[in-house]
Amino acid sequence: MNRGKILIVDDEENIRKTMRGSLEDEGYEIFDTGNGVEAINMVRAIDLDLVFLDIWLPGIDGMKALKVIKDISSDLPVIIITGHGTVNTAMQAIKMGALDFLEKPLSLENILFIASEVISRSKSTNETDDRKKGEGASNYEQIVGESNKTKKIREQVQKFSKQSNDFLIIGESGTGKELLAKIVHSNQRKSTGEFIKLNCKFFQPPNLEEELFGQSPPESNKDIHHKEGLLNRSDLTTIFIDSIDQMEIITQQKMLEYIKKEMGYQIIAASSKDLAKEAEENNFSPQLIDYFKENIIKLPPLRERRGDIPHLINFFLKEFSLERNQKIKELDDESLAVLVDFDWPGNIKELKNVTERLVISVPTTTITIDNLPIFVRDEVATKRLSIHDKHNNFEEAEKAWKRDFVSFHLRKYDGDISLTAKKLKMKERALKSYIKKSDILIEKKKEFNYQRTINKSMVMSGRGLHSGVKTGLILSPLPPNSGLLFGSISTGDTIPAHLDYVESTEYATFLKRGNTYAKTIEHLMAVLHAYRITNLLIKINGEVPIMDGSALDFCRLIEDAGIEEQDAREEEIIIDKLYQIGDPSSSDKFISIEPAEKLSIKYFLNYPPPVGKQEYYFVLENEKLFKEQIAPARTFGFLKDIEALEKKGLANGGRLNNFILIDDEKIINTKLRFSDEFVRHKILDLIGDFYLLGRPVKGLVTAHMTGHSENNALMKKVRDSLNIYW
């Protein structure tokens, strides 16, 4: 059984041979080359499931090859193979679309694991998409909208699906004529034959007749193959004839004779013109329009059913977001109003294309007016300048104003019909009736927070504070309820970012599971806590890079990735009573947490000069305040402690630009960002440590001279009392 097609690209023949043997033993079909140009040609020619691509190749290197491969097939998974010292380059490859990277010497066990996981996940996704498409094709609800005109169209589609009558669809370009024809075809009880589309505008008259009626060979040359016309075939269920107005009248009349014979298929004709008017002007066969007269569906342009626009937008946002495994995006009120007000000359097709571009291009979950195409914003702005010319009479203007007025107040009161009716001094029944009649979309306000991940993978490189080793950081989105996971870049093993896996808290917070470590995690964890990122894979080389000693770079990384809200509720940890470590009446270390509406921290610090006494009170209202007040505060240490740290191998990464170094009299190496930077950094560490409970925390923390060990001890009390285990 062929488990999938894999291409191995590496200039070392021994590596290709070893990988090929192992993967073929597992049932994969393997292709290999040592040349980047050949690799690109293979990607063009073969329907591959996975590529292992070495960075160093003769001729065109791996990075250039990767760019071309992703241009050819953006969805094809590519795993970069890199030698020592090229980790930074490999992480650049991640930015360019590579799925992951492996360092040499390669682990065959890891290669087999990656191949199995990537290909099975990809095939599962494709099967799900195919199944959804199959199910969706037979679903009348694909005719999206709740306006009276749309409901009438659905009724007509059901009628023609049951009766198998030939019928005609009239509608402007982009109104969905072909989609409607396909829905009828898929719902036919005896839909065992093909759906064939014939667009008349693409054929010259003689060629169109040949397509419809076929061609017999001349008597003089019996070697010419007989061509069967569509109207003579017996294996069809539906023939969709688009742009039938482009067919010559003589051909129309000839076709009518065929279809009156009831050949066993259904004819669905379509046109963007008013064919009755065309017949009056001798541009269309009166007999053919008479044949269809009882069986015509008229698709209104989008501007005549504006109440359906919000429904269509939500449908397309969901469709395109799910295609890209993203959280379903949403429009804010202002951008939705602009899209509803736009005339959409290309109708649903144009709206669909604009929506898809918004899903692809907007990194945030919420789409604002600034994200909309300029041509949409400009036209609506021009229309609004001449709003008094929009309506022909007072009654029409009053009707439009009333609808906008009710829509505004429904948004104001979060979709609460009872409250809105009360505020507007209306009867609730009357308001409900008006909402239904006017096709007003009600969007209720969220009553709870959703889980969050990031929109796209991000990479960063730096140096570990304690190990001194160059290290990389790769952040990858995870689905709902996955949690935060630290992973090893080299082995793929993971550790949950949870208190249950804390190994050490002496100078920083370390996690361990098996032989896998995640060290110095507190700054990154603080940022994830502040930005409420709940599902994320964090791949590192053992230690999170220290960067400049603060959390600012991690804030920028999350913001560059964009935050995606997911379809799962976020469960916060609500502190239910007072928990404490130490005695608050003494001058020793002390920390407590008690009930509060938000995570709030009062920290008191008392070191000898030049630090002295410092205190700070911070409420985690939002990520903006965190980024401004807490994230910039850097790691600090005393010169007298350096020797002890070096003996333990924990000071190898300290540099003058990533650490505040203090002697007995002064700060040696830098200027402070805040006069109380030291106490703010303690709060930064605390916010990070407390996220090891696995979920955002609500409570008031009061602390004096404590560090990671005391934070850890207090969290264990909370964990045991509230039963918060991984």
Q: Are 122 and 130 in contact (CB under 8 A)?
A: no
Segments in 138-226 forming alpha helices (H): 148-163, 177-187, 205-213
Q: Give the Cα separation of 366 and 336 in Å (integer).
A: 11
Measured distance CA(126)–CA(118) in Å, rounded:
12
The answer to whether 169 touches 297, Cβ cutoff 8 Å, is: yes
SS3 category, 608: coil
Burial string for 628-666 (b: 16+ CB within 10 Å, else e) reads: ebbbbbbbbbeeeeeeebeeeebbebbeeebbbbbeeee
Q: What's the rounded Cα separation, in Å, for the pair 629 and 618? A: 8
| Residues in Cβ contact with 710 at an 8 Å cutoff, skipping those fewer than 6 apart | 581, 582, 589, 591, 703
Residue entry with tokens 């009053």: 398
613 burial level (CB within 10 Å; 0-12, 13-18, 19+): exposed
* C-alpha distances out from residue 328 to 122, 314, 356, 524, Å: 20, 9, 12, 26
Residue 96 corresponds to which tokens in the numbers above? 């360019």
Cα three-residue angle 669-671-675, rounded to 5 degrees:
130
Angle formed at CA 127 by CA 126 and CA 131, multiple of 5 degrees: 115
In total, the chain counts a number of residues equal to: 726
Helix (H), strand (E), coil (C) string for 432-472: HHHHHHCCCCCCCCCCCCEEEEECCCEEEEEEECCCCCEEE
CA-based max dimension of the chain: 115
695 phi and psi, to 5 degrees?
Answer: -150, 160
Residue bearing tokens 């019996």: 222
Active site residues: 708
Structure tokens at 347: 């109708």
Amino acid identity for residue 693 in this structure: L
Q: Where are the beta strands (DSSP E) in 381-519?
A: 450-454, 458-463, 470-477, 484-488, 494-496, 502-504, 510-513, 516-518
Cβ contacts of residue 415 below 8 Å, gap of 6+?
442, 443, 444, 445
- Specify whether the CB–CB gap between 52 and 8 falls below 8 A: yes
Taking a C-beta distance cutoff of 8 angstroms, is the pair 406, 434 a contact?
yes
- Burial of residue 381 (CB within 10 Å: 0-12, 13-18, 19+) is exposed
Give the strand pairing for 78-82 and 50-54: parallel
